[in-house]
Amino acid sequence: MSTHDTSYKPHSAAAAPAVPAAAAAASTAEVSPNDVQMLIVLVHLSGVIGAFLVPLIVYFARPVRDDVLALAAKEALNFQITLALAWLLTFATILVLVGLLFVPVLIVISLGMPIWAAVLSARGETVRYPLILRLVR
């Protein structure tokens, strides 16, 4: 080995390869707050298309049930369950013409409440849907 060769590095137990350390740091990195806020908005907006599966998957995919994303998913899921029950009751009462009065109201609620919740979530506020059953705890 020449004296000008700088490529030699002594082997030591403390020196760790750079690639596995970077990979380990990337695997333990948390999602940025902006990403979490965007996911919260998407969880609420999924209610516009009637997809209760999105909040359900997000809620059960979270390892910690008390974090902000899991709480938003739980709130959206409770809203979607309450809304589904209201639609069932409305369809059951259409035969006696009472349900026809509730159809326009439920359409406005089905579209308006998730958009309202998404706007508040985009501002960074915590959303609690009013007048819903809190079945998922």
Distances (CA, A) of 76 to 46, 58, 80, 103: 9, 10, 6, 21
- In this predicted structure, the answer to whether residue 29 has a pLDDT above a threshold of 70 is no
Instruction: Find tokens 């309450």 and name the residue.
Output: 82
Cα atoms found within 13 Å of the Cα of residue 15, Cβ hemisphere only: 4
* pLDDT category of residue 137 using cuts at 50, 70 and 90: confident
Alpha-carbon distance of 3 to 32, in angstroms, equals: 48
102-109, long-range: CB < 8 A, 24+ apart: 109/83
Alpha-carbon distance of 76 to 122, in angstroms, equals: 15
The answer to whether 105 and 86 have CB atoms below 8 angstroms apart is no
* pLDDT category of residue 28 using cuts at 50, 70 and 90: very low
pLDDT (0 to 100) of residue 35? 84
The values of phi and psi at residue 32, to 5°, are: -65, 155
- In this predicted structure, the answer to whether residue 74 has a pLDDT above a threshold of 90 is yes
pLDDT (0 to 100) of residue 117? 94
Alpha-carbon distance of 70 to 18, in angstroms, equals: 35
- In this predicted structure, the answer to whether residue 111 has a pLDDT above a threshold of 70 is yes
Alpha-carbon distance of 32 to 96, in angstroms, equals: 52
Alpha-carbon distance of 60 to 73, in angstroms, equals: 9
Q: Is 87 exposed, middle or buried (0-12, 13-18, 19+ CB in 10 A)?
A: middle
- Mean pLDDT calculated for residue range 38-43: 90
